Structure 1
């Protein structure tokens, strides 16, 4: 029943995929991880209840050497089940691992495989990955629709949905938002929060452009952008040009363990994410939106890629045109004035359908555990 997880996406490296892959390890009865080297990995790995074998390189690629190492680990640990943390490109080792005795192979897709599906050469490689795996998983229905045409018909029929879960104990109403507001001097202030890297695809610039209209409708409303990233200087200058610098608070990077109180501080969570680079850079899902719903917040989300799977329009929040600041402003102002039951609806939905236990049960079924 041992599972060999082969992945580049593993802590202490930070990111949504890393959190997804690491959390799934807790749902497996017996797992061993083969991953890349990262600064600080010795200290991190010492805290884990399962073995982690680090490659000498900072990135695993499906080379002959890495494949031989994966086969050796499979034999050393009696791991007849293989899980690729990201299908492309490591899933190209699937055929060799199958020949070496792997009983089940599951390859997870996230968002970048949608790019592979549309590019000649990469598309053929993705087809080989699908042929070698028992199952390719997808995080959203949109991702499945993009990837399926690149696969052989049989492989497309074997695709299954495997989504990240939400820790509904960590992300819960009252998990520390009042403390954050006191610390930042935001008590009693109408507050919108966006938690994400500061990059163009996440749509923080759309929020800033929407803010003059929001302030006219909701005097004193503030916007808190939680996270770091390459776009911070651009966003600060945009806020100054738009005349809303006094209304926009940049927290800078916040450790993942400390994120829930910042989400809980919001009256409304907003991330008008958008698709960029001629469709090659979409939002695959957006687990932070579901974390906000788990915290009981109404959400406003951009219509990009699989983001629509994270909101029930009109029930837990609203899906908006991320290129239309006016439309974004209308929805945010509406929710600041009258959130209704959307936050409570979102909490109930996440508790019912987006838990790690549910995701773990799906994965164990796919691995035949």
Structure 2
């Protein structure tokens, strides 16, 4: 199952939906769940929800094979809550590679970073992960380990304290 969550202004539903359209041509019958308030028409077979409850989101992370966040070019790494939640649950991610994204997603290790606005790159990255079970498992385990090592409240608090000491 492919999961994508998020409604902030820098999400890119056009690129996401086009990538999912391409992907479903290669993997028909794949379950795809998207949480978005976009007015664009989703590809046939894509389940779209305007909002989801916390418990439902947790269930969807458990069910997902890969989590995808497509964003427009931005400078604040849009989608980080979704990315870190997905990675902490052991899911590889595919994220638009905007400035700073590499601090969270290690390309080829915990998921893939792809050029913003490039639906074919997004589709190919998702397909690559889904078509290789060993890659899916390795990236998922690496994603969870990376979040535990670098993105917990404790590590973020220590980093903030270090900045404030300077």
Same fold (TM over 0.5): yes
Question: Hey, what does 1:254 align to over in structure 2?
Answer: 52
Counterpart position of 1:362: 159
Aligned equivalent of 1:225: 34
Aligned 1:225-304 pairs, distance under 5 A = 225-227=34-36, 229=37, 232-233=38-39, 235=40, 237=41, 239=42, 244-245=43-44, 247-256=45-54, 259-275=57-73, 281-284=74-77, 286-304=80-98
Cα distance, 1:298 vs. partner? 1.1
User: Cα gap change, 1:312/1:350 in structure 2, threshold over 3 Å: closer, same or farther?
Assistant: same
**SS of 2:100's equivalent?**
helix
Task: Work out the number of aligned pairs and report it.
Answer: 161
Question: SS at 1:322's partner residue?
Answer: coil
CA distance in 1, matches of 2:57, 2:113: 23
Shift of 1:256: 4.5
Higher RCO (CA 8 Å, separation ≥ 6 residues): 2
Counterparts of 2:107 and 2:101 in 1: how far apart (Å)?
11
Residue 113 (structure 2) pairs with residue 319 (structure 1)? yes
Q: Report the TM-score, using the length of structure 2 for normalisation.
A: 0.84
The answer to whether the Cα contact below 8 Å between 1:274 and 1:303 also exists between their aligned partners in 2 is no
1:151 counterpart residue number:
none
CA distance in 1, matches of 2:146, 2:121: 25
Write out per-residue CA displacement over residues 56-97 of structure 1, whole angstroms, 9 at most, x where no aligned residue.
xxxxxxxxxxxxxxxxxxxxxxxxxxxxxxxxxxxxxxxxxx
CA RMSD between the two structures = 2.2
Gaps spanning 5+ residues in structure 1: where? Answer: 1-190, 276-280
Residue 366 to residue 311, structure 1, CA distance change in 2 (3 Å): closer
Are 1:330 and 2:124 matched, yes or no? yes
Unaligned runs of 5+ in 2: none
Alpha-carbon contact 1:213-1:326 (below 8 Å) kept: yes
Question: Could you tell me whether the CA contact under 8 Å between 1:195 and 1:263 is conserved in 2?
Answer: no
User: Residue deviations 1:219-270, cap 9 Å, x none?
Assistant: 212321125x4xx22x2x3x2xxxx23x211122124565322222211100
Specify the structure having the higher radius of gyration (Cα): 1
